[in-house]
Amino acid sequence: MPSGDGIFRYRDGIAAAQIVLFSISLIYAYHFRQTRRIGWFCIGVFSIIRLVGAGCKLGTINKDSDGLWAGVFVCESLGILLLIFVLVEMLERMNKSNTIVHRWTFLTPQILTWLDIAISIGGFVTVSKKDSDQLLPTDWSRASTGIMALIFLYTVGIAVYFWLRRQQFAKEERRLADCIAICVPLLFIRVLYSVIFVVTADMTWNAVKGSPTAYLMMTFLPEVAFVATCIITIRSTEPGVQDRQGGKHARVQEERRSVLNTAWPGR
């Protein structure tokens, strides 16, 4: 197995920072799961993907193996859709509290995601058969990135529609709308990074072996800021609307039983 040169570089420092920060977000995702809050799955899986990718990148310092680089490539190719779906979850939460659009509105991103997964599998098979230039974009990766951008724009359209009607929501849901408004520009930067690479095929914008500064400014920092903003917002919200309604229903039932016991002791 080829050995790495053992040099800790700029890009490795970013990977080390990812290990620290996404470990924290993974802990919060587990907390959200335990407290039945939104976002736990997408934030949790996204954190795991970034942790695995960063671990593989650090591993290449001492072992320059194809397996580790493949791990970096796969992990860097994943994740954006999970961030988009954090916003979709917030919009669904708002819609449950005050119905603005039909629930089928949120099915479109899911359908497009399955199509994107199918294209990504085809692209991976194609790239695995190439003997060289495996990191360069293909027709498959361009199609996949195009669908991802379409899902993003569709979600932004829904977000704008909700924002224009934000006064119809309670304070807690308006807080979610504010979070979405902050996160959309951050996610736009991240999506743009991927789009630039597949359009230009310029390795400067490649997440695996491209410019560390470009990666820092257009991937690492936007992703960290996005996840941090979502975590802060979700922490300040109560469990989902359905859970709150269930709890309220239980309290009403308990109050009714108390009244009955007072009126008819022993019944």
Quote the DSSP letter at residue 136: S
Amino acid at 168: Q
Residue 116 near residue 151, CB atoms below 8 Å: yes
Length of the chain: 267
Q: Which amino acid is at 202?
A: D
Confidence of residue 130 (pLDDT cuts 50, 70, 90): low
Q: CB under 8 Å to 61, separation ≥6 — which residues?
A: 4, 5, 6, 7, 8, 12
Tokens representing 18 are 């990812």
The pLDDT assigned to 260 comes to 37
pTM over 0.75: yes
Q: What is the mean pLDDT of residues 97-113?
A: 90
Query: What pLDDT score does 14 carry?
Result: 97
CA quadruple 74, 72, 19, 147: dihedral sign: negative
